[in-house]
Amino acid sequence: MVEIAFNHATVRERADMLEFLDLCAERGVQYVSIWGQEIDKVGEDVALRRMRELGLRTLGYHRIGPFTDKGLSEAQRELERAARFGADHVYLFTGGGLEQSHIAGERARVEQAAADLLPAARALGLKLAIEPLHPMLAGDRSVFSTLAQANAICDRLGAGTGVVIDAHHVWWDPELDQEISRAGAADRILGFHVNDWQIPTRDLVRDRGMIGDGVIDLASMAHAVRDAGFQGPVEVEIFSDKWWNEDPGVVMDIAMSRCHDVFDAI
């Protein structure tokens, strides 16, 4: 059976971090991805104690960025907190920032910021995760849109960097399979996020589909990720007003059932 992880974003509108952790433990989920802003709501000491009591492990920590001057000044603090929670990787959230420069200049600025942060991340045993987002979000959320771009950055920056493959953001890419293979050959796949692309999609951020409710060939994508050598869990990450309005436990049960339907045979 496939191992399933949950990203708190999937249920965070109705379940605070403590409830989220309890729901995961009740379902036998061992791995979670967490958000700094949600830790702040319940208190770091309380959240960390609950995770340890429940025996949960952290995959991803959200996040460093956006890469404004203020964001960079806070980056070390976020890295240190991610390390306290035992995170495997920390997400780089670039933001758009296009009011400041042309997109090429913004990409160069963000890459330099990542290079500047990398020694601190390495010293803490953390990896910097680059997650390309859908190109329609390039103006305000991420200046990196393809897995090819993410792979190229990792090639240049070297050890301590990796990629997260989110189905919602990269399913459309005609070069996806070869770039998944490229990432796998370099042993840099840090995570595989599952969700779906709905027709129609009413909001680019807040209308992701439940696994199986959209048009993404998730089984083929999972095959490609596994063939590339990634052995980690599939991570459910669904930003959705529809699902945020449902009971968090029910949402998690549906997601787990759908994941088993799609991924158990892979």
Question: What's the pLDDT at 101?
Answer: 63
Question: What's the pLDDT at 139?
Answer: 87
Question: What's the pLDDT at 71?
Answer: 56
Question: What's the pLDDT at 109?
Answer: 87
DSSP state letters, the chain: ---EEEEGGGTTTTS-HHHHHHHHHHTT--EEEEEHHHHHHH-HHHHHHHHHHHT-EEEEEEEE---SHHHHHHHHHHHHHHHHTT-SEEEE--B--TTTS-HHHHHHHHHHHHHHHHHHHHHTT-EEEE----GGGTTTTBS--SHHHHHHHHHHH-TTEEEEEEHHHHTT-TTHHHHHHHHHHTT-EEEEEE-B--SS-S-TTTBPBPTTSSS--HHHHHHHHHHTT--S-EEE---BHHHHTS-HHHHHHHHHHHHHHHHTT-
Fold of 4-263: TIM Barrel (3.20.20)
Question: What's the pLDDT at 70?
Answer: 57
Question: What's the pLDDT at 43?
Answer: 98
Please identify every stretch of the chain with a pLDDT value under 70, giving residue numbers as ranges: 67-73, 97-101
Tell me the domain boundaries of the chain.
4-263
Question: What's the pLDDT at 65?
Answer: 83
